[in-house]
Structures are given as C-alpha cells and as structure tokens.
Structure 1
Amino acid sequence: MFSGDTRKMGLRERKKAKTMALVQKHALRLFREQGYKATTVEQIAEAAEISYSTFFRYFAGKEEVLIRDNYDPLLISTFEAEPLGLSPLQALKDAMLSEITKLSDEELETMRERNQLIYSIPELRSAMLKNMTGMTQLLAELLASRTGREKNDFVVQTLAGAVVGVNISVMLHYAEHLDADFGTLLGEALDMLEQGFPL
C-alpha cells in the first residue's frame, strides 16, 4: 500500500513514520543503484544513519522495507468517521480515497517504485500476499463493526477480499502505467466493484 499523512498521528507515531519513510527512501535508492538482492540490511541501516538493531525495531527484514507502511491507522480513523448513512463499501471507498488525496507527488512516485519492485521480485510478491492477507482481516474487522456482523462472516470476508483484490489490481496497473493516477484508478475500480463489474 502507501505511507499516508502523519498529521493525525501522535508525536511517537509521527517519529516512527518519519524514520520508516527515511529508511524506505534510502533502501529504494540502494536497490536502484546496486539491485535488491545485492543490498544488505547493514547497508540500508548505514545509509539511513540508524543502527542495525534499530532497523529491526521497524522492519522484520529487508523485504518489509518495501511491503510495510503506516496506512492502516489512518484508514481506520477515517473509516470510523464516515457517515453512518453510507453503505460499508461506500464508507470504505471514501476513507481510502480521502487518504490518497493527502499523498504528495513524491510519496506517490515512491509507492509506484515500491510496487514495481514488489511485482518484479518473486520473494517480494510472496511477502506482499502475506501482507494483503493481514489487510483482508483488518478490512473484515472494520466492515463487521459497521454492519454488526462477525468479522468471520462469509459475506464480510468476501467483501473484504474483493476490496483487497481490487487494490492489488490497481497497484499492478499503476506500477506498469507511468501516466496513470492512483487515486483515479482506485476510485474507478471500487466503483466497478460497487456496480457488480458490468461487462
């Protein structure tokens, strides 16, 4: 996914988000210069001017530098503030698009570069799918809380999975089409989901 705005976070969360963004920035530069496989955690930590042990306070490994972001807390708070009159899918769509509009051009370009690497390296694709499984569970919890259903309800799980699937397709398209606008793509894709994908 993407890093998101830090304005709604507390001081500790903002500091963590800035450190994560700094590490990701240097990691991407190193990946560009010498390749993903040739880049080590030690090199990333040195470039970001943090210790090796500090790196692992933020990321479980090198692949997480590309997979992990700070989007979930922002999505949760924005979704919970959406009007109750909206359908669960409409509320989720509005929350996701609201956060995307706060991203700078630099953040969007970083997201595109991360996605390009993720889709081009097999071990990163595997890590991304694991991350998306967690995202599906998060969305199921949000949808369940709004609808009064259980998070393991089949309908709730299916809708959460559909939204994650849409997001994956948008990420792939955005990574491959340099002229595409991520927010526009996601909005159109979620509209199609809402309309039942009329073909």
Structure 2
Amino acid sequence: MVTPRTLRTRARILDAALDLFERQGYDATTVNQIAEAADVTPMTFFRHFATKDAVLVTDPYDPLIAEAVAAQPADLPPLERTRRGLLAALGDITPTEDATARRRVALVARSPSLRAAVAVGTDATQEAIVERLVGDGVERLDAAIATSACLAATTTALLAWGSAPGDVTLSDLVRRALAHLAPAGAAS
C-alpha cells in the first residue's frame, strides 16, 4: 500500500535528484549525493527508484493509462481506443505534475544516454495497454500496432516538449501529435 509518507519521500527524492541533475549534470550526480540531498539513505532511494535513470524515466501512470484505454468504447478500432485513452489520461495530469514532468523531460532530452531508458519505460507502458486491449478481445498484433503508433507520437511530443516555450503544455503537444492519428473528421 502506498502511504502519504511514501509519496512524500518519493517526491523529496525526485526533487533532490532534479535539482542536482540540473545543477551538476546527470552523469556527474551519484545516487549517494541524491540520497544525502533528500535526507534519506541510499537503501531508501533504491526502495523508491530501481536505478538513477528511473528517477527521470519512470512514472506511476502505466496502470492509469491502461485503464483510460480500457474505458473507451470496445467497438472502436484499437488505434482509436488507444488514442482516446491517452487523451483522456492527459486530463488527469495536475499542474504540479506537469511542471515536474517538464524538468524530467528537459533533462532526458539533453542526455542521449537516457534515451534508451525512455524506450524501456515506453515498453512497459505499451505492454500495460496491449494487455488491456487483448483482455477485451483485440488480437495481440493489432493491439501492439495501435499502441506502438500512439506511443511513438506521444514520445515524440514528450521529447519536443523539453525544449518548447514555457507556455506550451505537454497536453498541447500530445494532442497535436495524436491528432495525426485520428480518423478523418474525428475530434482531436
């Protein structure tokens, strides 16, 4: 069970890590430095984040995104269900999460070594969505193709967001990216 204390500790570690990464660079920052800045032990750090890169590339949204996709009408094609589900999940991002996500994305976009970690995180999201679609009777290949297309568009928008002007939101860019996958005449 996730307690408020656990969430506060995770947020403290995340904030400390982001501050250090921004100040001295991702590669120059150690887990021990992050733990010290967050006033936790390295063991506590690893209870919340499996690796240093996990601070930047993992999030708790995979189950929420999969649920948002599952909540879309089952008679829609898999691509449209996935697209609509991702758009619906965007509505649950708070301004605070948006600001933290922008910091994370900006750091990832500047670090080529982290792009591979983004791919691993995307794989986990894809698998969560595919499993929900398959559970609803969609053939695995069709579910994987639909999910891959939507996540490729979303990831492209996400990485572009790190260098976008400050008034551009993640939602703006993801909506724009997913609009390219909408059926003709569909609302974005």
TM-score, normalization by structure 1: 0.80
1:14 is displaced (CA, Å) by 5.5
Q: For residue 90 of structure 1, what is the aligned residue in structure 2?
A: 80
**Range with bigger deviation, 73-82 or 119-128:** 73-82
Residues 151-162 of structure 1 aligned to structure 2 (within 5 Å): 151=140, 153=141, 155-162=142-149
1:97 is displaced (CA, Å) by 2.6
1:72 is displaced (CA, Å) by 1.1
Counterpart CA distance in 1 for 2:162 and 2:88 is 21
Report if aligned partners of 1:23, 1:44 keep a CA contact under 8 Å in 2.
Answer: yes
Alpha carbons of structure 1 residues 192 and 63: separation in structure 2 relative to 1, 3 Å: same
Note the alpha carbon deviations across 1:81-102, whole angstroms, 9 max, x for none.
Answer: 3343444333333332333223
Residues 45-84 of structure 1 aligned to structure 2 (within 5 Å): 45-84=35-74
Aligned residues: 183
- Structure 1 letter corresponding to 2:120: K
Aligned residue among 27, 41, 61 for 2:17 = 27
- Alpha-carbon RMSD across the aligned residues, in angstroms, is 2.2
Report if aligned partners of 1:22, 1:48 keep a CA contact under 8 Å in 2.
Answer: yes
- Structure 1 letter corresponding to 2:177: A
Alpha carbons of structure 1 residues 84 and 113: separation in structure 2 relative to 1, 3 Å: same
Aligned residue among 171, 178, 192 for 2:180 = 192
Counterpart CA distance in 2 for 1:73 and 1:66 is 18
Aligned residue among 130, 133, 137 for 1:140 = 130
Report if aligned partners of 1:41, 1:52 keep a CA contact under 8 Å in 2.
Answer: yes
1:167 aligns with 2:157: no
Residue segments in structure 1 that go unaligned for 5+ positions in a row: 1-10
TM-score, normalization by structure 2: 0.84
Residue segments in structure 2 that go unaligned for 5+ positions in a row: none
